[in-house]
A and B are shown apart, each in its own frame.
Chain A
Amino acid sequence: AQSVTQPDIHITVSEGASLELRCNYSYGATPYLFWYVQSPGQGLQLLLKYFSGDTLVQGIKGFEAEFKRSQSSFNLRKPSVHWSDAAEYFCAVVLIGGATNKLIFGTGTLLAVQP
């Protein structure tokens, strides 16, 4: 069955340090992949998405992600983290077919940023 795994439940980085959040998916075909961010008590905001083409995708707020088919991964990166990046991050894959496409989420990674 299709699934998304985010192996890191909680990550703490220092402000200005680089960041990489891991995401692995299980899907039979070429996936549509997403990263969303959620600030406390808020809805989810799309950071970036991958449908096809260039495997390195750029998103908002300085984030990027790289699709690696051989590793079934779609890791999120940022070269220099800001305190405002503290939030929960969700990786998701689209389940194609049926009456509608459905988005399947990972369990999320909570990012804390130290001054």
Chain B
Amino acid sequence: SQTIHQWPATLVQPVGSPLSLECTVEGTSNPNLYWYRQAAGRGLQLLFYSVGIGQISSEVPQNLSASRPQDRQFILSSKKLLLSDSGFYLCACTDRLGDTGELFFGEGSRLTVL
């Protein structure tokens, strides 16, 4: 079964600094990959998804970007962080062949922007 690794687990960054959150997947090939953000009391918001290397779709306009340089690597980035970027970021994947939407999640990365 799939295993998702995220790092760093926690991060405290000043406003205006850059960001890079990494996610790697094991146990499957050619997965669909997703970045979700979880803010207090707001559930999970889908930020980006990718169906293949170099293919990124953005769900909401924002200060963040995503990249997929390898099949099982998904990176969330920002050039200049805003206070509103604080939150818990979750990477997830699904097996495309059995794509019923069921997601497997990483343990998350908690970002605090000060």
Contact = CB atoms under 8 A, between A and B. Distances in A.
* Co-complex (A, B): yes
A103 B46 contact: yes
Contact of B101 (A9, A32, A41): A32
Contacts of B110: 41
B42 A43 contact: no
Interface residues of B, number: 29
Interface in B19-66: 32, 34, 36, 41-44, 46, 49, 51, 55, 57, 59
Interface stretch (A13-21, A56-64, A73-81, A104-112): A104-112
A44 B106 CA distance: 8
A51 B49 contact: no
Interface of B: 4, 32, 34, 36, 41-44, 46, 49, 51, 55, 57, 59, 90, 92, 94, 96, 99-108, 110
